[in-house]
Amino acid sequence: MATGRVLWVLRHAKALRRPPVGGADHERTLAPRGRRDADALGKCLGDQGDHLGLADDLMPGLVLCSTAARTVETTARVLAGLAKPPPVTYLRSFYDASPEEVLEQVSMVDEEISAVMVVGHNPTFEALVAAMPRSPVPSLSGGFATCGLAVFNLPVRRWDEIAPRTAAVLGVFLPPF
C-alpha cells in the first residue's frame, strides 16, 4: 500500500502516421500495434488481470485524458477490462500541454481521489516521467515508449502539493505486456 497520492502516467499507444483524409493530427487513430498494446495493457489492469502486480487500492479513481483520437482510443481500450472503470475527464489542453500544465491539472483533482491516471502525448509525457522521480530511472533513459506506463507514489496529502523530483517509482511498464 502506498502512502500519499498515486500518479499513473500513460503515453498513448502507437498511432497511425497520417490522419484520416481531411483530418488533422488530432484525429489520428491507433495503428494495429497500438490497438494490440492497449488491449494487452487493459487485460493486465482489468478485473481478471494482475494489475501489473500493483495493489487494488492503487488503481486510478480518475483519468485525465487528452481529447486526441489516439488518446481517447488508448484510454477506452486500457479501461475496457474493468467492470467499474474510473470516470474520464477529457481535456483539450493535454494535446499540447507542458509537463507543468499537466501537473497543474492534476493539482486540481478532488482530494477524495487518491490515484489519478493521465493519458497524453510525447514529448510532454516523456519529460513528465523523467521529472517526477526523486532520482533517475534507468528503464526510462531511452525515452518513453508508446503505451508506456509509469506509476508514481507521491509523498503528499493533497494533490495541490504535487511537485517534480519527489516521487517514488512504483513501476515502469512497457510493451509488450
pLDDT tens-digit readout, 111-152: 999 999 999 999 999 999 999 999 888 877 788 999 999 999
Question: What is the pTM for the complete model shown?
Answer: 0.95
164 contact partners, CB below 8 Å, separation of at least 6: 99, 103, 131, 132
What's the number of domains the chain is made of?
Answer: 1
1 contact partners, CB below 8 Å, separation of at least 6: 55, 57, 58
Q: Please give the pLDDT value at position 161.
A: 96
DSSP letter (8 states) at residue 174: -
Q: Is the per-residue pLDDT at 2 higher than 60?
A: yes
Q: Please give the pLDDT value at position 143.
A: 86
- In this predicted model, which residue has the larger pLDDT, 28 or 22? 28
Convert the pLDDT of each residue in 35-82 to its tens digit. Answer: 999 999 999 999 999 999 999 999 999 999 999 999 999 999 999 999
Q: What is the CATH number of the domain that holds 157?
A: 3.40.50.1240
| SS3 state of residue 55 | coil
Can you give the residue range of the structural domain that contains 41? 5-173
Q: Is the per-residue pLDDT at 107 higher than 80?
A: yes
Q: Please give the pLDDT value at position 110.
A: 96
Average pLDDT over residues 5-30: 90
Angle between helix 99-107 and helix 124-131 axes, rounded to 10 deg: 70
Average pLDDT over residues 8-20: 92
Average pLDDT over residues 10-34: 89
Q: Please give the pLDDT value at position 137.
A: 83
**Chain Cα centroid distance, residue 121:** 9
Burial class (CB in 10 A: 0-12, 13-18, 19+), 92: exposed
Please state whether the peptide bond connecting residue 60 to the residue before it is cis, i.e. omega within 30 degrees of 0.
no
Of 8-12, 18-22, 63-67, give the lowest mean pLDDT range. Answer: 18-22
